[in-house]
Amino acid sequence: MKIVIIGGGFAGLKLARSLNNKKGFEITLIDKFNFHQFQPLFYQVATAGLDASNISFPLRKVFHKSKNVRIRLAEVQSIDAEKNLVMTNIGLFEYDHLVIATGADTNFFGNTVLQKNAFAMKSTIEALQIKYKILQNIENALVLKDATEIENLLTVVVVGGGPTGVEISGALAEMKKYVLPKDYPELNFATMKIYLLEGTGRTLVSMSEKSSKHSLEYLQKLGVIVKTNALLQEYDGKIVKLKDGSKIQSNTVIWAAGIKGNVPEGIDTNLIVRGNRIKVDRYNKVLNQKNIYALGDVAYMETPLYPNGHPQVANVAINQAKVLAKNFLKIQSFQQNLDEFEYNDKGSMATVGRNLAVVDFPKPKMHFKGFIAWYIWMGLHLFLLVGVKNRIQVFINWIYNYLTYDQDLRLIFKNPTKNKSK
């Protein structure tokens, strides 16, 4: 069975690993990056808490001992469902079964001006760009005299009060409190403002009210200015304009307010629903297709427990991949009793800072906060990281950061100017 998997994220990687060295399978994993990215920790790269290499793992290294999984570094251009072909920038790939696990990208909801001026955080590269921007702004502020201009350079606005927005806001606040004053004693960081804008009435709206309440308390304790029911209307690179008419002057806006599925060209547009997700059945098969599947953030599946689709989280993607791998094994052995997918929600969590986190467990219904929740959060993320070396490095970095309130990763990489002489 020749299977092509597009995307090396949580779903694509899990499916390939589940079918690794299984007889009768030939797997081609296509991704535009040659490494797996651990998205839940992007915010720590953006705030110089972790090195990019700590949360990235080479795809080829995962399959060093594989006899049937091959990696191809390519960008998918389109899919020809009738001919069973995937067109890429390096050539054509034939398949018996195609799996779309392309994940999601930032959704700017058609606002091209905002897209041009705000920073997204859906890849390691984008996280690094945020880090460089923040550090370079501070360097630029050192040579300014005008207090207003300095404040504008230092002020950061985070849009979106979900886990990503809450986590990066808290990390920035700790950076402002513990790290930056030691690096830049010439600057008064009391003038540095960190805003978190949320369009609904509370932060972490997908979690319990207790988690929302405690996350707000933690953010305010760290000095983050939280504005709920605040809808960003316009951002030109200097001024944030809200729908209520208020304005915030800032040189840096981080957009964490929406995502959309990465749907390849060639998929019937009638099968694409809100959030740019592809309709699939209970087996993750794309509707009206006999051999094309979609997993994770790009898949939209309606079930009795989730009539509006599953949440776009890593656990859904991983478990969908597990079920699909079992079904491929059954299809290969001509079994008819395929497994339907249903998501068993084991809980949700978010961290705001050191010893400050919230965790919700649905069954039994429990809520944790503070140090215990923070400890649970760290343990789960260490477990989910790919590679023993990465887990050790992240754990050591976290211990070092906890003991010293610091990390030696505030590096700005840029191309040096080359002087050309005749």
What's the whole-model pTM score? Answer: 0.92
List pLDDT tens digits, range 322-367.
999 999 999 999 998 999 999 999 899 999 999 999 999 998 899 9
Task: Categorise residue 7: left if φ over 0, alpha if ψ from -120 to 50, beta otherwise.
Answer: left
Share of the chain above pLDDT 90, in %: 91
Per-residue model confidence as pLDDT tens digits over 187-206: 999 999 999 999 999 999 99
CA distance 232 to 248: 10
* pLDDT tens figures, 141-159: 999 999 999 999 999 999 9
* Model confidence at 420: pLDDT above 60: no
pLDDT at res. 388: 87
The pLDDT of residue 95 is above 50: yes
348-353/356-361 β-pairing = antiparallel
Higher pLDDT, 416 or 51: 51
Query: How many Å apart are CA 263 and CA 271, to the nearest integer?
Result: 11
pLDDT of residue 364: 87
Q: How confident is the model at residue 79 (pLDDT cuts 50, 70, 90)?
A: very high
Question: Rounded to an integer, what distance in angstroms lies between the CA atom of residue 62 and that of residue 197?
Answer: 39
Phi and psi, residue 416, nearest 5°: -70, 150
Kindly state the tokens that stand for 422.
Answer: 């005749």
C-alpha span between 370 and 360 (Å, rounded): 12
Task: Report pLDDT for 325.
Answer: 98
For 283-302, the pLDDT digits (tens) are 999 999 999 999 999 999 99
Give tens-digit pLDDT for 205-250: 999 999 999 999 999 999 999 999 999 999 999 999 999 999 999 9
Q: What is the CATH number of domain 115-257?
A: 3.50.50.60
C-alpha 73/C-alpha 83 separation (Å) is: 22
* Phi, psi at 21, each rounded to 5°: 60, 20
Q: For the domain with range 2-106+259-332, which CATH number is right: 3.90.1200.10, 3.40.50.720, 3.50.50.60, 3.40.640.10? A: 3.50.50.60
Q: State residue 74's pLDDT score.
A: 97
Range list for CATH 3.50.50.60 in the chain = 2-106+259-332, 115-257
DSSP letter for each residue of 381-422: HHHHSSSHHHHHHHHHHHHHHHHHS--S------PPPPPP--
**In sequence order, what are the beta bridge partners of 252?**
156
All residues at 6 or more sequence positions from 67 whose CB lies less than 8 Å from its CB, including other chains: 21
Average pLDDT, the chain: 94
Q: What is the CA radius of gyration of the chain?
A: 23
Q: What are phi and psi of 248, to 5 degrees?
A: -130, 125
